[in-house]
C-alpha cells in the first residue's frame, strides 16, 4: 500500500482535488425546507388525514395574526384595523381572512334578510359614542367575543386561510410590510406558515454558524495538539473536502436541508478529522521518536500500526449512521447515509490523500519542545497507568454506579414534539403563540371533517352536537363551522327568539337555510365549511394548547366523540401539530431500532477485529453505560426527547467507540511485546492517548457551536454530544484500561494483534 501511494502520489492528490471541486458545482442546488411535513412519511395516518381535509376543504392550514392597540376602539383605530384587514385579503397567498370585519351574521333589514359583518368596514362609526356602542355589542356577541376580539377590547385576531401553493417567504414578507406600515399597532403571528418561515430563516443562519465556528474550534484544538502547520492544515483540509463532497452529493440528488440535516455539518466537522489526527500522531511518533527518515517506510509504518484500529473505528462509526437507514422517517435515513458518505470520503483521504501529500512534503524538523513535551507526557502517563492499575476495581464500581443512577432518571425524560418548543422563550414564534393564546381564541388550528349532510336536519343535529362538545373542552378557544351561520339564521327567522338559537328540526328548513347561507358567504369561505358534495362538514377549531400531550388528548377526545355521533364513517382530524406528534412517536421507534442495529454491528466489528468476543462485549458494554448516562442526563435536566436529541444514542455509540478501539489496539500490541498491564497502559496513554485526546477535544469543540443554535433541539443535541464525547474520552482512557487490567495475563497471549 505504501509503495503504491508513493508511486502515484501526484495522481492521488489530483484525483481528490478534482472530485471535491466537481462536487462544489452542485451545492447551489440545495434548498432549505422548514415544513414539518417534509420530515414525515407520506403513509402515516396524520399526513393522510391532512391531505384528505386539504382536498375536501381547500386547505388545512392557517395563520393567526393579532393586532393590539390601546386606542383600537376609537374611530381612527377601527379605520386602521379595517385597512389592515383589507391589505391582508389582498395578499397573493391568502385565500380568505376571518375577522370581525368579515365574519357575518344574519340581520333583518328594510330590504329583507341580509348577512352583514359584525363590523362593516364600509360603515364604521364616525364618533366615539358610536364606537363605544359597537364595543359593547361585540362584547355580548358569543361568536366573536374572546375569539376574534379580546375581552378587554385592545386586540383583534385575523385568521388567514392560506392558498394551496402558499409561499411562506412571500406571505410572511407581505405581512411584515403591512406591520411596518401600521406602526401604531403591535403585531403577533402564530401558525405553521410563520413557524416554517422562521425555521428556514434560522437554518440559513445556523448552517453558517455551525460550519464557520466549528472549523475555527477544530483549528484551535489542532494548533494546541500538534503545534505544526501540517498538523492543522491536513485534518482541516480533510474536513473541508468532506463537507464539500457531501453537500455536493446532496445537491446532485436535489435533497432538502431540513432541521434534521443541520446535524450533518456538525457530525462531519466533528468526525472527519479523526482518522487524520490518529495518522498524524503516528507519523510524528515515527519521525521524532523512532527516527525513521525514509518516506515510504514512514507511510508503511503508519499503515501497519493503524490499519486495524482505523479500519475498525471507520466501520463502527459508519455502521452507527447507516443504521438510520431503517428509520421510518425518510429525512433521518437520508441524514445517516449522507453523513456515512462524508465519513467514507474522509477515511479515503486519510488512507490515500494524506499519505500521498506527506510523501511530497519535506519531513518535519525536530525541535526541542517536542522532546520536552514527550518527557512530560511519559511521566504523566506512567503515573496514570499506575493509578488505574491499582484502583481498577474502584473505577469499574464507580462506572457501574453512575450508569445505574443514569438509568434511574431515564423514565423522567420529557417527550414533546410541539413545534413551538423548537424555539426559545423570547423568540417571536413563542411570543406570538403565548400572546394569542392569552388574548383571543388560540394559536393552534386543527380541522375536523365530519361526515354529515348539512342539507338535512339529522346532519345538522350531528354537527351541532359535535360543535357543542368541542366548545366545552377546556383548551378549545373557538369553533367556526356552518352550524354557527345556520343557528343564527334560524334565530333571526323567529324574530330573535333565543329558543330558536338551534339548528332546524326538519329537512326542508335545513335545506332552505343552507341555501341562504350559501348565497351570503364568499365561495372561499363556503369551501372551508362544507365539502363540494355536501357529504362533509368542516370544523375549524382554534386551540390554546402549547404542549403536544394536551393537543393530542384534545384530538383524541374529538375523534372519540365524532365516532360516537357518526359511527364507523370516515372522520379526519388534520393539523400540522398532529403530524409532529405522530412523527415524534416514529422518532422514538427509529431511535430504538437504529441503536439496536448499531450495537450489533459494533459488537460484531470489534469482536471480529480483535478476534475475541470479550473485547467486543467490553467495548459495547461501556458504550451502553455511556448512552444510559447521557439519557439519564436528559431526564435530570428536562431536555426534551425530539427529532434531533433522539439521534444521540446511535451517534454516541458510533463516535465514542473509536477511543475504546484505538486504546485497546495499542494496549494489546504492547502486551504482546511482553509488557505488563501497567506498562501497557502507560505506553498506550502516552502515545495513542495523545491522539485520542486531540481527537476528542476536536469533537468537543466542534459541537460547541450548536449551543448557540436558534433551535432548542439542535442546541440540546450539541449539549448531549458534548457530554457523550467527554464521557467517551474518560471511558477510553480510564475505564477501558481498568477493565482490560482485570483480565488474566494468559488470555492476551492468545490474541493476535
pLDDT digits (tens, 9 = 90+) for 396-423: 899 999 999 989 998 888 776 667 777 8
Helices assigned H by DSSP within 440-575: 457-472, 482-493, 507-520, 523-527, 548-566
Q: Higher-confidence residue: 680 or 722?
A: 722
Model confidence pLDDT, tens digit, residues 606-618: 777 777 677 777 7
Domain ranges of the chain: 2-37+197-421+580-748, 62-190, 452-569
DSSP codes, 272-338: TTHHHHHHHHHHHIIIIIS----HHHHHHHHHHHHHHHHHHHHHHHHHHHHGGGG-SSHHHHHHHHH
- Is the pLDDT confidence value at 526 over 80? yes
Confidence of residue 372 (pLDDT cuts 50, 70, 90): very low
Distance of CA 694 to the CA centre of its chain: 29
Give pLDDT, residue 31.
Answer: 86
Cell 363551522, residue located: 481
User: Is domain 2-37+197-421+580-748 in CATH 3.40.50.300, yes or no?
Assistant: no
Across the chain, mean pLDDT equals: 83
Model confidence pLDDT, tens digit, residues 111-165: 667 778 889 998 899 899 999 999 998 888 888 888 899 988 899 999 998 887 7
Model confidence pLDDT, tens digit, residues 680-708: 788 777 777 777 777 778 788 888 888 88
- Is the pLDDT confidence value at 474 over 80? yes
Q: Higher-confidence residue: 162 or 185?
A: 185
Across 179-200, average pLDDT:
89
Confidence of residue 375 (pLDDT cuts 50, 70, 90): low
d(CA 285, CA 371): 11
Q: Higher-confidence residue: 373 or 47?
A: 47
- Is the pLDDT confidence value at 306 over 70? no
The model's pTM is 0.81
- Classified by CATH at the fold level, domain 62-190 comes out as Alpha-Beta Plaits (3.30.70)
Nearest residue to 40 (alpha-carbon basis) of 418, 422, 584:
584
- Is the pLDDT confidence value at 451 over 70? yes
- Is the pLDDT confidence value at 338 over 80? yes
Model confidence pLDDT, tens digit, residues 61-117: 788 999 999 999 999 999 999 999 999 999 988 888 999 999 888 777 666 677 788
Strands 94-98 and 256-257: unpaired
Give pLDDT, residue 752.
Answer: 47
- Is the pLDDT confidence value at 395 over 70? yes
Model confidence pLDDT, tens digit, residues 237-269: 999 999 999 999 999 998 888 888 888 998 888
Model confidence pLDDT, tens digit, residues 432-447: 988 988 888 888 888 9
Give pLDDT, residue 582.
Answer: 81
- The SS3 of residue 555 is helix
d(CA 177, CA 173): 6
Amino acid at each position: 500500500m505504501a509503495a503504491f501511494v508513493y508511486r502515484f502520489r501526484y495522481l492521488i492528490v489530483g484525483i481528490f482535488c478534482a472530485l471535491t471541486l466537481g462536487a462544489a458545482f452542485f451545492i447551489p442546488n440545495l434548498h432549505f425546507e422548514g415544513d414539518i411535513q417534509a420530515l414525515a412519511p407520506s403513509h402515516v395516518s396524520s399526513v393522510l388525514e391532512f391531505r384528505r381535509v386539504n382536498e375536501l376543504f381547500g386547505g388545512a392550514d392557517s395563520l393567526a395574526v393579532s393586532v393590539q392597540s390601546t386606542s383600537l376602539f376609537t374611530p381612527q383605530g377601527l379605520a386602521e384595523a379595517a385597512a389592515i384587514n383589507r391589505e391582508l385579503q389582498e395578499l397573493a397567498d391568502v385565500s380568505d381572512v376571518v375577522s370581525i370585519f368579515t365574519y357575518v351574521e344574519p340581520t333583518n333589514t328594510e330590504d329583507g334578510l341580509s348577512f352583514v359583518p359584525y363590523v362593516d368596514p364600509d360603515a364604521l362609526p364616525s364618533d366615539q359614542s358610536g364606537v363605544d356602542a359597537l364595543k359593547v355589542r361585540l362584547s355580548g356577541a358569543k361568536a366573536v367575543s374572546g375569539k376574534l376580539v379580546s375581552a378587554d377590547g385592545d386586540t383583534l385576531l385575523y385568521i388567514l386561510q392560506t392558498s394551496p401553493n402558499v409561499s411562506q417567504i412571500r406571505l410572511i414578507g407581505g405581512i411584515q410590510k403591512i406591520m411596518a406600515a401600521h406602526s401604531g399597532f403591535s403585531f403577533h403571528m402564530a401558525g405553521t406558515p410563520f413557524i416554517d418561515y422562521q425555521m428556514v430563516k434560522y437554518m440559513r443562519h445556523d448552517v453558517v454558524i455551525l460550519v464557520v465556528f466549528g472549523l475555527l474550534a477544530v483549528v484551535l484544538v489542532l494548533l494546541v495538539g500538534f503545534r505544526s502547520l501540517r498538523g492543522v492544515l491536513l485534518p482541516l483540509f480533510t474536513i473541508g473536502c468532506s463537507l464539500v463532497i457531501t453537500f455536493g452529493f446532496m445537491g446532485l440528488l436535489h435533497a432538502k436541508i431540513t432541521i434534521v440535516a443541520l446535524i450533518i455539518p456538525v457530525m462531519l466537522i466533528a468526525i472527519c478529522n479523526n482518522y487524520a489526527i490518529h495518522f498524524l500522531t503516528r507519523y510524528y511518533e515515527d519521525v521524532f521518536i523512532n527516527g525513521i527518515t525514509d518516506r515510504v517506510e514512514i507511510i508503511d509504518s503508519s499503515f501497519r500500526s493503524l490499519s486495524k484500529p482505523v479500519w475498525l473505528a471507520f466501520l463502527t462509526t459508519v455502521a452507527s449512521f447507516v443504521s438510520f437507514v431503517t428509520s421510518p422517517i425518510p429525512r433521518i435515513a437520508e441524514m445517516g447515509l449522507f453523513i456515512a458518505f462524508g465519513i467514507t470520503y474522509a477515511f479515503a483521504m486519510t488512507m490515500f490523500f494524506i499519505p500521498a501529500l506527506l510523501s511530497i512534503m519535506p519531513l518535519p524538523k525536530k525541535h526541542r519542545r517536542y522532546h520536552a513535551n514527550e518527557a512530560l507526557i511519559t511521566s504523566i502517563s506512567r503515573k496514570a497507568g499506575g493509578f488505574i492499575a491499582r484502583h481498577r476495581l474502584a473505577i469499574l464500581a464507580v462506572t457501574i454506579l453512575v450508569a445505574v443512577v443514569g438509568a434511574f432518571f431515564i423514565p423522567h425524560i420529557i417527550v414533546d414534539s410541539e413545534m413551538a418548543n423548537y424555539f426559545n422563550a423570547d423568540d417571536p414564534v413563542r411570543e406570538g403563540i403565548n400572546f394569542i393564546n392569552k388574548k383571543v381564541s388560540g394559536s393552534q388550528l386543527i380541522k375536523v371533517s365530519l361526515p354529515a349532510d348539512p342539507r338535512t336536519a339529522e346532519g345538522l343535529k350531528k354537527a351541532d352536537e359535535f360543535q357543542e362538545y368541542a366548545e366545552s373542552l377546556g383548551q378549545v378557544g373557538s369553533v367556526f363551522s356552518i352550524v354557527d351561520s345556520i343557528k343564527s339564521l334560524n334565530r333571526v327567522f323567529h324574530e330573535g327568539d333565543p329558543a330558536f338559537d338551534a339548528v332546524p328540526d326538519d329537512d326542508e328548513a335545513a335545506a332552505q337555510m343552507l341555501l341562504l347561507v350559501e348565497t351570503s358567504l364568499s365561495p372561499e369561505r363556503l369551501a372551508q365549511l362544507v365539502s363540494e358534495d355536501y357529504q362533509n362538514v368542516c370544523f375549524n377549531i382554534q386551540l390554546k394548547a402549547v404542549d403536544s400531550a394536551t393537543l393530542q388528548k384534545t384530538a383524541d377526545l374529538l375523534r372519540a366523540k365524532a365516532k360516537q355521533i357518526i359511527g364507523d364513517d370516515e372522520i379526519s382530524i388534520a393539523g400540522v401539530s398532529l403530524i409532529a406528534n405522530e412523527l415524534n412517536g416514529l422518532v422514538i421507534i427509529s431511535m430504538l431500532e437504529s441503536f439496536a442495529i448499531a450495537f450489533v454491528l459494533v459488537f460484531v466489528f470489534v469482536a471480529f477485529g480483535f478476534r475475541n468476543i470479550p473485547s467486543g462485549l467490553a467495548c459495547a458494554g461501556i458504550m451502553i453505560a455511556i448512552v444510559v448516562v447521557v439519557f439519564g442526563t436528559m431526564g435530570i435536566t428536562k431536555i426534551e426527547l425530539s427529532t434531533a436529541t433522539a439521534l444521540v444514542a446511535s451517534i454516541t455509540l458510533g463516535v465514542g467507540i473509536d477511543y475504546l478501539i484505538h486504546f485497546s489496539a495499542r494496549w494489546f500490541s504492547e502486551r504482546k511485546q511482553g509488557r505488563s498491564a501497567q506498562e501497557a497502559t502507560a505506553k498506550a496513554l502516552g502515545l495513542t492517548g495523545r491522539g485520542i485526546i486531540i481527537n476528542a477535544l476536536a469533537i468537543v469543540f466542534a459541537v460547541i457551536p450548536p449551543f448557540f443554535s436558534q433551535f432548542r433541539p439542535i442546541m440540546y443535541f450539541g449539549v448531549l454530544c458534548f457530554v457523550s464525547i467527554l464521557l467517551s474520552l474518560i471511558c477510553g482512557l480510564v475505564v477501558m484500561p481498568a477493565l482490560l487490567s482485570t483480565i488474566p495475563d494468559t488470555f492476551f497471549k492468545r490474541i493476535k494483534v
